[in-house]
Amino acid sequence: MPGRALVATGLPRVTLPSGEAVPQLGQGTWHMGESGRARPEEVAALKLGLDLGMTLIDTAEMYGNGGAEEVVAEAVQGRREECFIVSKVMPENSTRARTIAACERSLKRLKTDRIDLYLLHWRGGPKLEETLAGFEALIAAGAIRFWGVSNFDVDDMEELLALPSGTACASNQVLYNLRRRGIEAGLLPWCRARGIPIMGYSPIEQGRLLRDRVLTGVAMRHRATTAQIALAWALRQSDMMVIPKASSEAHVRENRAALDIKLTEQDLGEVNRAFPPPKGPRPLELL
């Protein structure tokens, strides 16, 4: 199936607590930077994404042991002002001093003077007070503009927001797709009530949704691909950022075109029967 064609329109945006608006559809880089042979294609994919308005790029020091950040640096060369770059500090590096040092290493790999949004990748041993102290020092130095978290459940978020500077959290990046809808019964409404936007990763469940018969049937009605329907389903929530990874230019175009798909009540009914929403709170899922 060739997929839904791209329509050249501006991308919808999500507003952060600061008031800054960023593209709803971004670009992920998980598993990039792991192969020198794949690097030219990865860089070209990210560059095309920028051309198509997908200027939010998510990466992390963990991805490819820093290799993904180096791929991002090459892709945004000469275009840094267009981009909103998100990176993450690993939990073992999340004391105040180590957070600052980790950020400095990421800045060097990214070849930039600041990271737009810096996230704690997941909870670790260091106290949150330590991590936030590191974030605050980095903001004061101009090394990061905003900070947030990743893979935080409701109890983690409650602990975070109880801290003196915890309310400055700009986003929570979590796993979210049709097979992983647990946040709809707890974390998602909790964050919405406090104006903290969710950034959903792995919206296609690392490709495992592509063979689903229901999604394929919906895709055929829209002359789209199954992946585009899975993406359109996540993107229908206008206050949620979504960051699929694409390692080829064709895949980037496919992802971007998902924004132009409007799912009908019939589509959503079929999808909900195949992938029922949670009936009650569930623990946060991770990949």
- Report d(CA 14, CA 197) in Å as an integer: 8
CB 191 within 8 A of CB 171: no
| Nearest CA-CA partner of 228 in 206, 253, 201 | 253
201: annotated active-site residue? no
- Report d(CA 198, CA 181) in Å as an integer: 13
Crossing angle of helices 249-257 and 226-235, in 10° steps, is 50
Catalytic residue selected from 63, 118, 176, 201? 63
Catalytic residues, which ones?
A: 63
